[in-house]
Amino acid sequence: MEISKQRVALVIQYLGTRFHGWQRQAQGETVQSALETALANVLEHPVTLHGAGRTDAGVHAAAQVAHFDHHSPIPAHSWAPMLNSRLPSEILILGSVSVSLTWHARFSAIWRRYRYTIYTAKAPNLFVQGVSWHYYYAPLREDLMQAALIPLQGKQHLAAFHRAGSSRSHSWVDVQEAVCYRREPFVYIEIQADGFLYGMVRLLVGMLVEVGMGKRSPENFTQLWVDQRRELVKYSAPAKGLCLLRVGYPECPFPRQLWFDTQPTFLFGDEKNQSMRMTEK
C-alpha cells in the first residue's frame, strides 16, 4: 500500500562559519546540502529541502525554517533526533512537525528577523568572537544608531544596501521594525522585514557604525539611502556577526520556545551580577 505524501517542517539552528551559505551550490558545502544529504541517507533517494531564508556564507541562524516532502511511515516528530545523529555538529534541528501540503517554509512566511551583534570591549574574547564583530576602534553611541534606524521603518527603496549579483528585480523592502540597543559591552541591531535584499543587513550595519562613531549624522544616513547612493556604501560588516533570528508565519507550526528567541544574548559585568542576584532571591 502506497503511503500518501507528507510534508514536514523543520526549525534549524546552525553556525555558518564553515559553510558557503544556506543554498545548495555546485562547489562548497552548504547548510542545505548537508541537510539534504542526511535526508537522502534516511529515505534512500534525493530530497529537496525548501528554506525560508537564504543566508550568506558565514552567517548563522537561530531558527531557520525549512520543509520537505516524503512518502515514508516515519512520524514527523521523529525527524529531528534522526537527522541530528547524521548532521555535522554545527547544525542542530530544534524540532520537526507535520504541516499541510499547502504550507511552504518560504512563501507562507510573512517576515524574517535578523540580529547583528557587535562586541565593543577593548580586549578580545574567544567565546564571542565567532558570533560577533569585535569593534573596539572607537566608542559607539547606540542612541544615534537607533535614531538613524527610525526613518528606515515602512516600505522603502533600499538600493543603497543591495549588493551586486542578486537575481531580485527590485530593491523595495517593507521594514516592520528596526532597533539598536546595548547590553554592555554588546551593541545589538535587529531588523524585521517581509524580505531582505542580498547583503542588505551587513551593508546597512557597516554604515550604521559610522553613525555610532559620530562620523555620519542620522540624517545623513537617511539621505544616503533615500537618494540611493550605493557608491557611498564602502564596506560590509563581517558575516560572523549576523544571525537569522526567527521567521514569522500567520500561524507558526512550532512551539514558541523552539523558535522565538533561541540566540542567547550575553550578560557581562554589572548585568551579569544583577541577573545572579535576581536568581538568588
CA 36/CA 30 separation, integer angstroms:
10
Provide the residue-wise pLDDT of the chain in tens; the chain has 281 residues. 678 999 999 999 999 999 999 999 988 999 999 999 999 999 999 999 999 999 999 999 999 999 999 999 999 999 999 999 999 999 999 999 999 999 999 999 999 999 999 999 999 999 999 999 999 988 999 999 999 999 999 999 999 999 887 677 789 999 999 999 999 999 999 999 999 999 999 999 999 999 999 999 999 999 999 999 999 998 899 999 999 999 999 999 999 999 998 998 876 655 554 444 433 44
Per domain, the residue ranges of the chain are 6-108, 111-245
CA 178/CA 225 separation, integer angstroms:
15
Residue 112's Cα: distance from chain center in Å?
A: 8
Interstrand relation of 154-157 and 172-183 (parallel, antiparallel or unpaired): antiparallel
CATH assignment, 6-108: 3.30.70.580
Residue 198, annotated as binding a ligand: no
How crowded is residue 4: how many other Cβ atoms within 10 Å of its Cβ? 7
Q: Which amino acid is at 48?
A: T
Q: What is the DSSP letter of 90?
A: T
Domain at 111-245, CATH class: alpha beta
Q: Which amino acid is at 173?
A: V
| Half-sphere exposure at residue 142, Cβ-oriented, CA atoms within 13 angstroms | 17
Catalytic residues: 56
